[in-house]
Amino acid sequence: MSEPILPLQQTWPAEFAERYRAAGFWRGETFPAMLRNCAQRFADRTAVVAGDERWSYAALWQRAEDIAAGLLALGLQPGERVVVQLGNTAAFYATVWGLFRAGLVPVYALAAHRITEISHFVRKAQASAYVAVDRCEGYDYRQLARELRALPDVPTLRHVVIAGDGAEFAALDALQGDAALLPTQDPDPQSVAFLQISGGSTGLSKLIPRTHDDYIYSFRASNDICGIREDSVYLVALPAAHNFPMSSPGALGVFHAGGTVVLSPSPSPDVAFALIERERVTDLGLVPPLALLWAQAAATTKHDLSSLRVLQVGGAKLTPEAARRVVAGLPVKLQQVFGMAEGLVNYTRLHDDEDTILGTQGRPISEGDEVLVVGDNGRPVPDGEVGHLLTRGPYTIRAYHNEPAANARSFTEDGFYRTGDMVLRKPGGYLVVQGRAHDHINRAGEKISAEEVEDHLLAHPQIFDVAVVSIPDDYLGERSCAFVIARGDARPRVPEVKAWMRGRGVAAFKIPDQIVFVEAFDTTAVGKTSRKELRARLRDAFLQKQNKED
């Protein structure tokens, strides 16, 4: 028998909802209404540039309506979930706009995700459809679709739609439907508009339900802080489906303001610098390793980067020294961004003094953001001391979708989200990120759960035990290292373990950067050691040894 389809919800207690409305944070805006409005107000202005394609707001809206009508004609019903994996293409925005128009709910997958992650999203979201690009960066997503189709345990999945050459699947461009059948009413502004993907600090990624009201507020307010206007030209160099280039203020903020979104197929300076010159790009976001690479490449580039106004850096910690190098190398205003797909986003302000911009990760968007920095005992620590960051507010979720156990762990009884980040707060509410309480690896902004990778490796027949840790890395910020105890004498070769892991169908960024074989884990000192302690000890011993060798 098939499982009942769980409703999507994200609920703030009534008194909070009232407060957020009264303060003007929530204005009852919805995505379909916002996008329709953009199409009318900015009709002939350029909304999206991707390769040789250049779409006006009116054209993007028309495309979205066609896709919406086509998806409903396939038999999809408003409220159903659709996993979207379209990389950095114009079709990504057209599809997402189309899903909003049809009342369907996008689930944002990254291009790097493979069958393990995609099937997990389909199952968790009980998705009815998967929309993917045909090929990208040498990978054929139609093959992934075939694998997905062959799985016995994704009963909700009824449709696959492919942008480009659909092969045996429905082609996005060929979808046809009747515009008269599109919803005539806009959705409830407090209903869930889409599902974002969590970094997955423990185990597999969780789904993050964000509402129309809360998300639109977050990028509308971000626009004011970041100075996004109608003449902004914003480059999406990071994966378009990630929360940072989507909404901080990201492409959605730019659409809201009537600016232009330029998609880069790659974040490499070779590709992106030419686009900056050609399109006169003004704003963009990068993760720290890319920002450093760009600063270096800018010294010798022939391209004109003088149109750049603001470079946002976030997703992982930018140290003050790295920040100094970025500022020295690129002719832009630096803005640090410390955000999370669950909600809270902090920015340094464009007019902050240099010490604040170089040395902090900013302060929250909203007066409605409540931030607590607490010790292990849960009590607030004084400003300037390191503690756990907890937060609640008008655009921070109160629960993940269908995760009762994780929800009990990740939220306090009074609704604060436990971010898992260790921070200290400075006067004025500026936060400095110190590290994490959870065991995950922040590999150049890509979040990897140690537990998830350990689970995969433990399934290898020649692996007896494994602990995965983060190791500081000059380029990536952190890299992943797996300490492995082989089963018996037959130690597998490192490339073989990596290839085997790839064969499990996981995103390439989850494959350990380094694999170190050890004879045993020293677990004697404290009797039964927790995995967290074990990881910490292995990491410390490794770093000490490395320091001695240096």
Q: Which two tokens stand for residue 174?
A: 């060929």
d(CA 56, CA 35): 12
Is residue 345 within the footprint of ligand OOB (CB under 6 A)?
Answer: yes
Angle between helices 31-41 and 250-257 (to 10 degrees): 50
Radius of gyration (C-alpha) of the chain in whole angstroms: 23
Nearest CB to ligand OOB, comparing residues 128 and 201: 201
Nearest CB to ligand OOB, comparing residues 72 and 345: 345
Of 25, 55, 338, 411, the one binding ligand OOB by CB under 6 A: 338
Q: Looking only at residues 99 through 158 of this chain, which bind ligand OOB when binding is defined by CB under 6 A?
A: none
Q: Nearest distance from residue 157's CB to ligand OOB, in Å? A: 26
Nearest CB to ligand OOB, comparing residues 287 and 484: 287
Nearest CB to ligand OOB, comparing residues 123 and 317: 317
DSSP 375-438: -TTSPBPPTTSEEEEEEE-TTS-S--TT-HHHHHHHB-TTS-EEEEEEEEE-GGG-EEEEEESS
Is residue 160 within the footprint of ligand OOB (CB under 6 A)?
Answer: no
Q: Looking only at residues 221 through 260 of this chain, which bind ligand OOB when binding is defined by CB under 6 A?
A: 243-244, 248
Q: What element of type H or E holds 192?
A: strand 192-197
Nearest CB to ligand OOB, comparing residues 119 and 312: 312
DSSP 154: -
Q: Looking only at residues 176 through 215 of this chain, which bind ligand OOB when binding is defined by CB under 6 A?
A: 199
Q: Nearest distance from residue 433's CB to ligand OOB, in Å? A: 4
Of 96, 115, 136, 337, the one binding ligand OOB by CB under 6 A: 337
Q: What element of type H or E holds 167?
A: none
Q: Which two tokens stand for residue 121?
A: 């999203």
The residue sitting closest to ligand OOB, measured at its beta carbon, is 339
Q: Within 13 A of 266's CA, how many CA atoms are on the CB side?
A: 9
Nearest CB to ligand OOB, comparing residues 292 and 484: 292
Of 164, 189, 314, 364, the one binding ligand OOB by CB under 6 A: 314
Nearest CB to ligand OOB, comparing residues 89 and 247: 247
Report the Cα–Cα distance between both ends of the chain, in Å, rounded. 61
At position 235, the amino acid (one-letter code) is L
Is residue 70 within the footprint of ligand OOB (CB under 6 A)?
Answer: no
Nearest CB to ligand OOB, comparing residues 191 and 222: 222
Nearest CB to ligand OOB, comparing residues 191 and 248: 248
Is residue 340 within the footprint of ligand OOB (CB under 6 A)?
Answer: yes
Q: Nearest distance from residue 534's CB to ligand OOB, in Å? A: 22
Is residue 315 within the footprint of ligand OOB (CB under 6 A)?
Answer: yes
Q: Within 13 A of 482's CA, how many CA atoms are on the CB side?
A: 27
Count of C-beta atoms within a 10 Å radius of residue 150: 9
Is residue 537 within the footprint of ligand OOB (CB under 6 A)?
Answer: no
Of 126, 205, 335, 361, the one binding ligand OOB by CB under 6 A: 361
Which of 72, 338, 297, 289 is CA-nearest to residue 179?
72
Q: Looking only at residues 401 through 420 of this chain, which bind ligand OOB when binding is defined by CB under 6 A?
A: 419
Is residue 336 within the footprint of ligand OOB (CB under 6 A)?
Answer: yes
**CA geometry: angle 248, 260, 176, nearest 5 deg:** 100
DSSP 441-477: EEETTEEEEHHHHHHHHHTSTTEEEEEEEEEEETTTE
Q: Is 67 exposed, middle or buried (0-12, 13-18, 19+ CB in 10 A)?
A: buried
Is residue 352 within the footprint of ligand OOB (CB under 6 A)?
Answer: no
Is residue 480 within the footprint of ligand OOB (CB under 6 A)?
Answer: no
Which of 441, 474, 509 is CA-nearest to residue 116?
509
Handedness of CA 398, 400, 402, 406 (dihedral sign): negative
Is residue 341 within the footprint of ligand OOB (CB under 6 A)?
Answer: yes
Task: Tell me how many residues contact ligand OOB (CB under 6 A).
Answer: 23
Nearest CB to ligand OOB, comparing residues 38 and 341: 341
Is residue 447 within the footprint of ligand OOB (CB under 6 A)?
Answer: yes
Which residues here bind ligand OOB, judged by CB under 6 A? 199, 243-244, 248, 314-317, 336-341, 345, 361, 419, 421, 433, 436, 442, 445, 447
